[in-house]
Amino acid sequence: MKKNIAYYTMILVTAACLHTGCSDFLEEDTRGKVFDNVLTSQNGLEAALIGAYRGWANCWTYGFTNGWATEMTLGGDDLTCPPGTGNTQEYDRYDVKNTNSSSPTVFWGCYKAIQGANNILENYEKCQGDADVIKCIVGEAYFIRAFSYYWLVRCHGEIPLMLTTAFDVADLDRTPASVKEIYTLIEDDLNNAISRLNDKRRNDEIGRPNKGSAIALLAEVYLSEAGWPLKETDKYAMAAAKAKEVIDNRATYGFDSENSYDILYENDDTKSGINKE
C-alpha cells in the first residue's frame, strides 16, 4: 500500500512539474516590448514621452554637468578654457572631433532623445485621449528634438538628420546634413513647440518646457545662427525680439531675474536648486 502511495505521488509530482514547465514555456514575457497599438492611447503617448526624456539621462549624468558644457555656454570670446585641456578646448571652439572621449555620452544621449521624440511625432495623430494634453505632449516632443539637435550641431557641425523611428542599415552611411539644414529644422521644431505648449508648465513640473522655454531657446538659436559658422547677421534682431518677448511676459511664463549670483550658483544640498531664472 505504501509503495502504491509513493508511486502515485511520484506521478503527480512529475505531472505537476511538466505542466508548470509547459506553462512557463508557452507564456511569453512581454515586459519591455512595445506593441503596434501602444501609441493609440494617451497613456502610451505619455510613456513614449518619458522614454524621450530618458535619452537625456546619461547626458546629464556624464555630459551636460561636466566643465566643458559650462565653458561651451559662457557666450563670450573673453571667457574660455585653459590651454592644453584637450577635450574641453574642442568644445570651447565648437569643433569636437570623433576622437574626443567626452563626446559619446552626449552624442548618443541626444540621438536617443531624438528617436523618442520622432516616435511621438509619427504616431500622435492616431492617439485617442484628451486633445489638450496630447497637444502639450507633442509640443514637448518638438522641444526635445530641437534642443537635442541644437547641442549636436554646435558641437559637431554637420551631422545625420534623423526624422523617423524606423531603423535602416543604410542610415549607418547616411550623408550628414548641412549646418543650415539642421538649424532650419530646429527653428521649425521650436515654432511647432511654441504653438502647442501652454504658458504654464504641464502639471506644474519644473523639468518640463513651457511656451516661454521654447521662445527663449529660439532666441538663443537665432543668436547662434547670427554668429559662426552661418553668420546670418539679420538673426541678431530676431534674437533680441524673442528675448524681449520672454522678458516682457516673464510673469506669465514664470521667469524672472535673480538679484544675486549667489542664488544662481549656491551649493546647498538642503535646497531644491530651482530659482526664478
Asked whether 177 and 161 are in contact (CB, 8 A), the reply is: yes
Long-range contacts of 180-188 (CB under 8 A, 24+ apart): 180/230, 182/149, 182/152, 182/153, 182/158, 183/153, 183/221, 183/224, 183/225, 183/230, 185/146, 185/149, 185/161, 186/146, 186/149, 186/150, 186/153, 186/221, 187/218, 187/221
Q: How many CA atoms lie within 13 A of 103 on its CB side?
A: 19
Q: b/e per residue, 62-75, with b = 16+ CB within 10 A? A: ebbebebbebbeee
**Residue ranges of domains in the chain:** 41-72+94-264
Give residue for cell 500622435. 124
Asked whether 148 and 186 are in contact (CB, 8 A), the reply is: no
Q: b/e per residue, 158-175, with b = 16+ CB within 10 A? A: ebebbeebeeeeeeeeee
Lookup: cell for 108: 548618443
Which of 220, 219, 197, 221 lies closest to 210 in space, CA to CA?
A: 197
pLDDT for the residue 62: 67
pLDDT per residue as tens, the chain (277 positions) = 444 544 444 444 454 554 544 444 455 554 444 455 778 899 999 999 999 999 888 777 666 766 666 666 666 666 666 676 777 778 777 788 888 877 788 888 999 999 999 999 999 999 999 999 999 999 999 999 999 999 999 988 999 999 988 877 877 788 999 999 999 999 999 999 999 999 999 999 988 999 999 999 999 999 999 998 999 999 999 999 999 999 999 999 998 888 887 887 777 777 777 788 7
pLDDT for the residue 165: 86
Asked whether 117 and 209 are in contact (CB, 8 A), the reply is: no
3-state helix, strand, coil in the chain (%, to 5): 60, 0, 35
Q: How many CA atoms lie within 13 A of 153 on its CB side?
A: 26
Cα separations in angstroms, 275 against 202, 213, 260, 264: 18, 14, 11, 7
pLDDT for the residue 76: 64
How far is Cα 212 from Cα 217, in angstroms, rounded to an integer? Answer: 9
Q: For 41-72+94-264, CATH number?
A: 1.25.40.390
Lookup: cell for 165: 523611428
Q: Is the pTM of this model over 0.85?
A: no
pLDDT for the residue 48: 94
Orientation angle between helical segments 211-226 and 131-156, nearest 10 degrees: 20
